Amino acid sequence: MTAPVSLSRFAKLVVVAVFGLILVGGHTTTTGAGMAFPDWPLSDGSLNPDGWLTDVMKTLEHSHRLVAGLVATLVAALFFWVRKTSTSVPSGCVALAGWALAAVLTQALLGGLRVMLDPGGIAPTTSGIATTFRVLHGVFAQVFLVLVVILAARLSPAWHEVPAHPHAAKIQRLAHIAVGLYFAQLIVAAAMRHPGAGLAIPTWPKVGADWLPAAWNPFIALNFLHTRVLAVLLAAHVISLTPRVVRSTPALARPCWLLLALVLVQFALGVLVVWKGKHPHITTAHVFNGAAILATAVLLAARAGRSSAAAHA
């Protein structure tokens, strides 16, 4: 079954909107504007708080909330549209749309709890409860992204044009490994970023004058794992994956080439984050590009799965 073209386009619009939310949310965290308002879901008790267009911090946080509300509305509309046309969409799409709606509501709740549990930004709670919810909020945003990307991929007319290939199952497994490595990198990054440990090691590639830290603590360990270990593992995996895809399943080469390009850009951005002392625009670009890596790896895995299923059928 092929979904209506208009529904497919709307699903892609939702993906674009989610990327917009990740961009605004990422920059809000980068600049430290997440607690510009001590209340939630309203901002200073209003949908249009005084001075939010003249105060940069309030502009970022309130824009984040407005875009989040827009995305939630779009996802709800997508869910009801998919449900209404359930007989003409691929199997599993209704469930996926339901999970996406549940995910966006959960994501909003996580963000709200972060504010409500620490309305004054008090240091003792910020280092514990509130920081935990900040990390969960940052990680779960990418889980939500995965759901809408898979849904948009299945609703696309291109879903039925993916050719069958006997080697696609192996490519799907390798793409899943890339997704797993990215999520490991994401969790470590969030645990490092939100407590402010992004420059726990302020040099790269060496750690000061040596290759290993002279002394270890939790922040240095997280930073080393993120910037040296997982970054290299993910880059090496994608670099080795690309020629295998190009040789064995050329129909999947386009998302794989894009994935390789994004990973190389991400590596360069990560280095610049350190060299430029966490410049806000570079740091936000690093977060946004990371989301693009995840979306591309998920798309590659989804299409490889479709190709494998067609081959077995």
Which residues, at least 6 apart from 152, have a Cβ–Cβ distance to it below 8 Å? 8, 11, 12, 14, 15
Residue-level pLDDT at 2: 78
Residue-level pLDDT at 120: 58
pLDDT by residue for the chain (313 residues), tens digit each?
A: 677 899 999 999 999 999 999 999 999 999 988 888 989 999 999 999 999 999 999 999 999 999 999 999 999 999 999 999 988 898 899 999 999 999 999 999 999 988 887 755 544 445 567 778 888 999 999 999 999 999 999 999 999 888 888 889 999 999 999 999 999 999 999 999 888 888 999 999 999 889 999 999 999 999 999 999 999 999 999 999 999 999 989 889 999 999 999 999 999 999 999 999 999 999 999 999 999 999 999 999 999 999 998 887 6
**In the chain, what is the greatest distance between 2 CA atoms, to the nearest angstrom?**
63
Which residue, chain included where needed, has tokens 């390009």? 261
**Residue 156 main-chain phi, psi, to 5 deg:** -75, 145
- Note the pTM of the prediction, 2 decimals: 0.93
Q: How far is CA 66 from the centre of its chain?
A: 19
Residue-level pLDDT at 289: 97
Which residue, chain included where needed, has tokens 């359930």? 86
Q: To 10 degrees, the CA torsion angle through 131, 133, 136, 141?
A: -110
Question: Of how many residues is the chain composed?
Answer: 313
CB distance 26 to 284 below 8 Å: yes
Q: Radius of gyration of the chain from Cα atoms? A: 21
Which residue, chain included where needed, has tokens 């007319």? 157
Q: Each residue of 45-79: pLDDT tens digit?
A: 999 999 999 999 999 999 999 999 999 999 999 99
Q: Each residue of 243-276: pLDDT tens digit?
A: 999 998 988 999 999 999 999 999 999 999 999 9
Q: To which H or E segment does residue 259 belong?
A: helix 253-275
Determine if residue 122 is left, alpha or beta; phi over 0 gives left, psi from -120 to 50 gives alpha, anything else beta.
beta
46 strand-pairing partners = 43
